[in-house]
Amino acid sequence: MRRRTKHDSRLLIVGATSKLAQETARLYAPGSRLFLVGRDGERLAAVGSDLEARGCRVAAFQLDMNRTEDCKAMVMAAAEFLVEIDVALLAHGVLPDQSQCESSPELVREVLEINTVSTLCLLVPLAAHFERQGHGCIAVLGSVAGDRGRRSNYTYGASKAAVAVYLQGLRSRLFASGVSVVTIKPGPVDTPMTAHMDKTPLFASPRRVARSIQRAISRRRAVAYAPGYWRGIMWVIRLVPERVLRHLSL
């Protein structure tokens, strides 16, 4: 099997204060240049100094992802600091409680704003930049939840499914200019975001998922599951007929 792996060292990371983004960024240390984007300045500084201590050159950019008008300026600042962007990793997002989503339209809107709208809006200037640049990789964290609507998390799943479909189209558009688009679908991860869930054996450590993310990026996969065994699980879940699935509380 032919495996071309790329050694990326200039990364733009959006949602850099998320646990998965932090663990992934650490895998690129030392010696990388990292442009970190996040909403909370103090947290961003904490993540930045950690990566600096590990031997990276770091710049931080504070941005509320809902302010789509600021995204273009952010991409320009990243391009200025990194010179060439090898990888743009989009790792921001929220995981809402499904039962709350069932009674609060405001929460549904919020989830879709941050997980879907802000991601797609950011991809407009980002895709344009990569198209001009003519190489590199846009990697976006989706979720296994986006593969099939399930009772336990369909609001979150819907917000991620939209992104996955968008990326399919973007992938063919950017293919011509030599830019890869990688959709990464992590399963449940043992992070602060899931601290109060009961942990099943399917929960993976952030470190392990980060390794899968890095591998997917360096091999320029189109769609990657993290860890890889989720490909098999979701293949089965997608095959379950609706009239069976509606009886299950998955």
Partner 1 sequence: MTSKGRWRDRYASWGRFPVANPADVIPVVWRSGVLPLGKLERPVLPYGRGRSYGDSCLNNGGHLLDTAGLDRFIAFDRERGLLTCEAGVTLEQILDLVVPEGWFLPVTPGTKHVSVGGAIAHDVHGKNHHVRGTFGCYVRSFELLRSDGSRWLCSPAENADFYRATIGGMGLTGLILWAEVDLRPIDGPLIDTERIRFDSLEEFFELSAGSDQSHEYTVAWVDSAAKGKKLGRGHFIRGNHAPGESPQRGRRKTRPRLTVPFDAPTWLLSRFTVQLLNGAYYRFQPRKRVRRVTSYETFFYPLDFLSDWNRLYGKRGFLQFQCVVPNEVGEAAVAELLGVAARSGRASFLTVLKVFGEAESPGLISFPKPGVTLALDFPFDGRPTLELFAEMERVVREVDGTVYPAKDACMTGESFRVFFPRWKEFSRYVDPAFSSSFWDRVSLESDAT
Instruction: Using CB under 8 A, list all residues that contact partner 1.
Output: 19, 22, 42-43, 46-47, 49-50, 52-54, 192, 195, 198-199
- Shortest approach of partner 1 to residue 15 CB, angstroms? 15
Beta bridge pairs of residue 181:
138
Q: In terms of CB distance, is 42 or 84 closer to partner 1?
A: 42
CB of 20 to partner 1, least distance (A): 13
Q: Is the peptide bond before 30 cis (omega within 30 degrees of 0)?
A: yes
d(CA 216, CA 222): 8
Residue 17 Cβ vs partner 1, minimum distance, rounded to whole Å: 8
d(CA 12, CA 45) in angstroms, rounded, equals 16
Amino acid letter for position 138: I
Considering the complex, state which of residue 173 and residue 199 has its C-beta at the smaller distance from partner 1.
199
How near is the Cβ of 216 to partner 1 at its closest, in Å?
20
- What are the phi and psi torsion angles at 11 (to 5°)? -120, 140
Give the C-alpha separation, 143 to 160, whole Å.
Answer: 6
What is the Rg, in whole angstroms, of the alpha carbon atoms belonging to the chain?
Answer: 18
Using alpha carbons, list the distances in angstroms from residue 126 to 89, 130, 158, 239. Answer: 11, 6, 23, 35
Per the CB < 8 A criterion, the answer to whether 96 and 156 are in contact is yes
Residue 53 or 202: the one with the smaller Cβ distance to partner 1 is 53
- Nearer Cβ to partner 1 (116/214): 214
Which residue number, 42 or 80, has a Cβ lying nearer to partner 1? Answer: 42
Q: Write down the least CB distance from residue 134 to partner 1, Å.
A: 33
